[in-house]
C-alpha cells in the first residue's frame, strides 16, 4: 500500500535549531547549520492530516534535545486545526524574543488562518472578535507595559550591584574601554585575548569582564577561586570544547580573585588557554608578577585598571542618587485649585518624603555627595554602599550632615601582604631621606593605624640610620636600635611615641651616604670580569699552620699599632686593583636639581627686596 506524501511528511520528526530556534527536519539539521541557518527551513505542509485508514494523524512536535536549557521551558501546545510546523515555528520565535517593558503591544491578536483546514464556527467567531479588538486598540493611546518580574527580583540587591553599567560607554574612569581604548578596540574587532585585569577594589574588573562577554556575544562562565577546584575547571573546559565544535560559539571563563588559585590550579588553564579552547579573564587586586605563575602570565595580556578619581566616583554617586531618589531636586507643587484627587495628593506626599530624604545630599552643590566620593578613596563599590547608607539615614527625622558623617566608618586601604605594604614603607623611607618630617609622620601613622607591625617599621629605621644618616651622625644608629628595643618591650599603642621620636630625629639629622655608596662601588667592581677571583696579597693572608708560614703567608706584614701614629707604607688591595678607591670624600652626591637652582634665585631676590625695605629712611612724618 502506498502512503500519501502528506502523511509521510507529517510523520518526519522535527527538531529545533540551536542557533535560530526554527523548526527543521531532523535529517536536514546538519545542512541547515552549514548554510548559516538560511536553507532547509520548514515549510507549511499540504492540507492533509488524514491517515490511510481515514483517521486523523496526530502531528509530531519538534524534538527539544537540540534546544538550549533556557528554551526548553517553552511549551509547544497543540491546537486542533493548526499546522504543527507553523505552531512550532511561531512558538520558537516568540520564546527567543521576549518583550521589553517599552515594547509596543501587538495590534492584532488574531492568528493567521491555515489554508486547507476546515475551521469551526467558534474559531471564526473568535477571529472576528479578535479583529474588532485589534481595531479598537489602534485608536487607544499606547500605555507602557508594567515592569517585568525580573526587575522586581533584583530590588533587594545592593545598590552597587543594581548600578552596574550595562554597556561599555557607562564604565567610568577607565581609558582602556573608552572610545579610543586598546581593550575596546580588541572587543569590537572580535579579537578578545586571554587577559589579567589588575586593579584596586571597586575599579570595575568584574563589570568589564561581563560586558566583554556581552558585547562579543560569547558564552560566559564565572567562577571564583575560593569555591572552584581543578575538577570543576576541567568540566568547564570539556563543555567549552563541545560548545565550540557544535555551535562555533566561544567561551569566556572569568576567574575572580585568581591570585588565590594555587600553582597547580593555575597550571590547569595552560593547555586550554594556549590552544584557544577557552578565553580566560582573571581579576586580581595583587601584583600578577608575584601572584600568577609565569607560564600562565606569558599566555595572557595584563591590563592595569587605574584607580578612580574623586570626580569619577562623584558621577557614579550622582547617577545612583537619581536612581534611588528621583525627586531629590525640588519641583514646583500644584496649586490647591487645580483639583487634585486624594490619590494624587497621597502620591505628592510620598514624593515629598523622598525629596526631603535626598535634600541633605543635594544642598550646597552636592557637598555631602562630594564628601562621600572622597571618602570612598577611588572605590566605586564603597562609595555606592556609603550612598545607600546615607539615603537611609536621611529618612530619619532631624538628621543633619554631621550626623551622617559621624555614622560613616573610614575604610583603610592597606594590605600587610600586598602592594600597599611595600608602597607605604617606601614612601616613609624616602620622606625621612628627604628630611620631610611631616610626610614621615603621616606615613608612620598610616601604617600603625592600619595594623602594621611596629617592629617592621623600627627595623627599617635602623637601616635608615646607617644608609642615609651614616657618618654624618653616628649616634643615630644607637637611637634607632634603642627604638627597636623599646618597641619590642613596650608594644602598641605606647611604642608609637618612640617610633615618632626616632623618625623625626632621623629627618632632622644631617645626611651622609659615603659608606653606603662606597659599598655599592665595591659590589660594582665585583661584577667586572676576573675581579671577584683576584688573589689575596701574600703578606695579608692568614698563616695558622707551619706549612703556610713556610709558604710565606703573612710574611713582611707590618702591624700598624707598633708604628708611630700607625703610619706605614703597605698595600692592601690585590695587585690589579692597586690605587683604586671606592669611598668618596663627599657625604652626598654631585648632581644639581634644576628646580632647586630656580628656587634659590627666587629666595635670593626676596631677600634683596626685604633688605631694601629695611634700609629705606623714613621722614619725620613716618612716610
The fraction of the chain above a pLDDT of 90, given in percent, is 17
Residue 118 pLDDT greater than 60, yes or no: no
Tell me which range, 296-300, 323-327, 372-376, 418-422, is most confidently predicted by mean pLDDT.
296-300
What number is the average pLDDT over the span 156-174?
A: 86
How far is it, in rounded angstroms, from Cα 25 to Cα 40? 8
- Tell me how far the alpha carbon of residue 374 is from its chain's centroid: 19
- 186 contacts 222 by C-beta, under 8 angstroms: no
- Tell me how far the alpha carbon of residue 322 is from its chain's centroid: 24
How far is it, in rounded angstroms, from Cα 258 to Cα 266? 8
Q: What is the DSSP string of 429-450?
A: HHHHHTT-HHHHHHHHHHHHHT
Sequence-distant (6+) residues with CB within 8 A of 576 are 530, 531, 534
Report pLDDT for 416.
61
What number is the average pLDDT over the span 384-404?
A: 84
Backbone angles phi, psi at 49, to 5 degrees: -120, 20
Q: Cell numbers for 225, please give them.
A: 577561586
Report pLDDT for 178.
85
- 253 contacts 24 by C-beta, under 8 angstroms: no
How far is it, in rounded angstroms, from Cα 208 to Cα 217? 14
In the structure, what pLDDT confidence band is assigned to residue 404 with cuts at 50, 70 and 90?
Answer: confident
In the structure, what pLDDT confidence band is assigned to residue 68 with cuts at 50, 70 and 90?
Answer: very low
User: Angle CA(123)–CA(128)–CA(130) in degrees, nearest 5?
Assistant: 90
Tell me which range, 164-168, 328-332, 371-375, 478-482, is most confidently predicted by mean pLDDT.
478-482
How far is it, in rounded angstroms, from Cα 521 to Cα 586? 14
In the structure, what pLDDT confidence band is assigned to residue 82 with cuts at 50, 70 and 90?
Answer: very low
Report pLDDT for 445.
94
Give the strand pairing for 195-198 and 301-304: parallel
User: Angle CA(334)–CA(337)–CA(340) in degrees, nearest 5?
Assistant: 60
In the structure, what pLDDT confidence band is assigned to residue 429 with cuts at 50, 70 and 90?
Answer: very high
pLDDT in tens, 269-311: 998 999 888 999 999 988 888 888 889 988 999 998 888 888 9
Report pLDDT for 109.
39
Residue 63 pLDDT greater than 50, yes or no: no
* Count of other CB atoms within 10 angstroms of residue 529: 6
Question: If you count them, how many residues does the chain have?
Answer: 623
In the structure, what pLDDT confidence band is assigned to residue 456 with cuts at 50, 70 and 90?
Answer: very high
Dihedral over alpha carbons 110, 116, 118, 124 (to 10 degrees)? 20
Report pLDDT for 418.
65
DSSP state, 189? T
How far is it, in rounded angstroms, from Cα 89 to Cα 490? 80
Report pLDDT for 124.
44
How far is it, in rounded angstroms, from Cα 376 to Cα 378? 6
Residue 83 pLDDT greater than 60, yes or no: no
pLDDT in tens, 10-60: 556 788 888 887 888 877 888 888 787 888 876 554 444 444 454 444 444
Residue 496 pLDDT greater than 50, yes or no: yes
In the structure, what pLDDT confidence band is assigned to residue 455 with cuts at 50, 70 and 90?
Answer: very high
How far is it, in rounded angstroms, from Cα 434 to Cα 424? 15
DSSP state, 545? S
pLDDT in tens, 322-368: 888 876 654 444 444 444 445 444 444 444 444 455 577 887 778 88
pTM confidence score: 0.50
How far is it, in rounded angstroms, from Cα 20 to Cα 35? 12
How far is it, in rounded angstroms, from Cα 269 to Cα 262? 12
The fraction of the chain above a pLDDT of 70, given in percent, is 71
Q: What is the DSSP string of 4-42?
A: PHHHHHHHS-EEE-TTT--EEEGGGHHHHHHTTT-SS--
Amino acid at each position: 500500500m502506498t502512503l500519501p506524501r502528506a502523511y509521510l511528511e507529517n510523520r518526519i520528526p522535527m527538531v529545533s535549531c540551536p542557533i535560530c530556534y526554527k523548526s527543521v527536519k531532523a535529517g536536514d539539521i546538519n545542512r541547515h547549520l552549514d548554510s548559516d541557518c538560511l536553507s532547509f527551513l520548514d515549510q507549511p505542509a499540504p492540507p492533509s492530516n488524514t491517515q490511510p485508514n481515514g483517521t486523523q494523524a496526530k502531528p509530531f512536535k519538534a524534538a527539544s534535545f537540540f534546544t538550549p536549557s533556557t528554551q526548553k521551558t517553552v511549551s509547544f501546545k497543540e491546537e486542533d486545526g493548526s499546522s504543527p510546523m507553523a505552531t512550532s515555528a511561531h512558538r520558537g520565535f516568540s520564546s527567543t524574543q521576549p518583550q521589553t517593558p517599552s515594547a509596543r503591544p501587538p495590534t492584532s491578536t488574531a492568528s493567521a488562518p491555515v489554508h486547507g483546514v476546515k475551521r469551526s464556527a467558534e474559531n471564526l467567531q473568535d477571529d472576528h472578535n479578535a479583529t474588532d479588538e485589534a481595531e479598537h486598540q489602534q485608536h487607544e493611546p499606547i500605555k507602557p507595559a508594567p515592569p517585568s518580574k525580573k526587575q522586581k527580583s533584583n530590588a533587594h540587591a545592593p545598590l552597587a550591584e543594581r548600578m552596574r553599567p550595562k554597556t561599555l560607554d557607562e564604565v567610568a574612569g577607565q581609558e582602556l574601554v573608552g572610545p579610543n581604548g586598546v581593550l575596546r578596540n580588541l572587543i569590537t574587532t572580535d579579537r578578545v585575548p586571554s587577559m589579567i585585569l589588575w586593579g584596586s577594589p571597586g575599579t570595575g574588573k568584574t563589570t568589564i569582564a561581563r560586558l566583554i562577554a556581552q558585547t562579543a556575544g560569547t558564552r560566559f562562565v564565572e567562577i571564583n577561586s575560593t569555591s572552584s577546584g581543578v575538577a570543576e575547571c576541567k568540566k568547564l573546559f570539556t563543555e567549552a570544547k563541545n560548545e565550540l565544535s557544535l555551535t562555533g560559539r566561544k567561551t569566556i571563563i572569568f576567574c575572580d580573585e585568581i591570585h588565590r588559585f594555587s600553582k597547580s590550579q593555575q597550571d590547569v588553564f595552560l593547555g586550554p588557554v594556549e590552544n584557544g579552547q577557552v578565553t580566560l579573564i582573571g581579576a586580581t587586586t595583587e601584583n600578577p608578577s608575584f601572584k600568577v605563575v609565569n607560564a600562565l602570565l606569558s599566555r595572557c595580556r595584563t591590563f592595569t585598571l587605574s584607580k578612580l578619581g574623586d570626580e569619577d566616583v562623584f558621577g557614579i554617586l550622582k547617577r545612583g542618587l537619581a536612581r534611588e531618589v528621583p525627586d531629590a531636586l525640588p519641583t514646583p507643587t500644584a496649586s490647591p485649585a487645580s483639583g487634585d484627587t486624594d490619590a494624587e495628593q497621597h502620591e505628592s506626599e510620598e514624593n515629598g518624603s523622598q525629596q526631603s530624604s535626598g535634600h541633605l545630599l543635594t544642598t550646597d552643590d552636592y557637598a555631602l555627595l562630594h564628601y562621600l566620593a572622597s571618602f570612598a578613596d577611588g572605590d566605586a563599590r564603597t562609595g555606592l554602599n556609603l550612598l545607600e547608607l546615607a539615603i537611609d539615614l536621611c529618612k530619619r527625622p532631624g538628621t543633619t550632615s554631621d550626623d551622617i558623617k559621624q555614622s560613616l566608618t573610614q575604610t583603610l586601604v592597606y594590605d600587610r601582604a600586598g602592594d600597599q605594604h611595600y608602597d607605604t614603607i617606601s614612601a616613609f623611607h624616602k620622606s625621612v631621606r628627604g628630611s620631610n618630617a611631616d610626610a614621615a609622620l603621616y606615613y608612620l601613622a598610616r601604617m600603625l593605624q592600619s595594623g602594621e607591625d611596629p617592629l617592621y617599621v623600627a627595623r627599617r629605621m635602623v637601616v635608615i640610620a646607617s644608609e642615609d644618616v651614616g657618618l654624618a651622625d653616628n649616634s643615630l644608629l644607637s637611637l634607632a636600635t634603642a627604638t627597636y628595643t623599646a618597641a619590642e618591650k613596650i608594644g602598641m599603642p605606647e611604642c608609637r611615641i618612640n617610633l615618632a621620636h626616632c623618625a623625626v630625629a632621623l629627618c632632622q639629622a644631617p645626611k651622609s651616604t659615603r659608606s653606603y655608596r662606597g659599598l655599592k662601588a665595591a659590589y660594582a667592581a665585583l661584577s667586572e670580569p676576573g675581579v671577584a677571583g683576584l688573589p689575596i696579597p701574600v703578606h695579608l693572608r692568614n698563616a695558622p699552620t707551619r706549612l703556610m708560614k713556610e709558604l710565606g703567608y703573612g710574611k713582611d706584614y707590618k702591624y700598624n699599632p707598633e708604628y708611630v701614629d700607625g703610619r706605614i707604607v703597605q698595600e692592601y688591595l690585590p695587585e690589579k686593583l692597586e690605587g683604586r678607591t671606592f669611598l668618596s670624600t663627599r657625604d652626598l652626591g654631585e648632581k644639581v636639581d634644576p628646580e632647586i637652582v630656580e628656587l634659590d634665585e627666587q629666595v635670593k631676590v626676596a631677600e634683596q627686596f626685604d633688605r631694601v625695605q629695611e634700609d629705606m629712611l623714613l621722614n619725620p612724618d613716618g612716610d
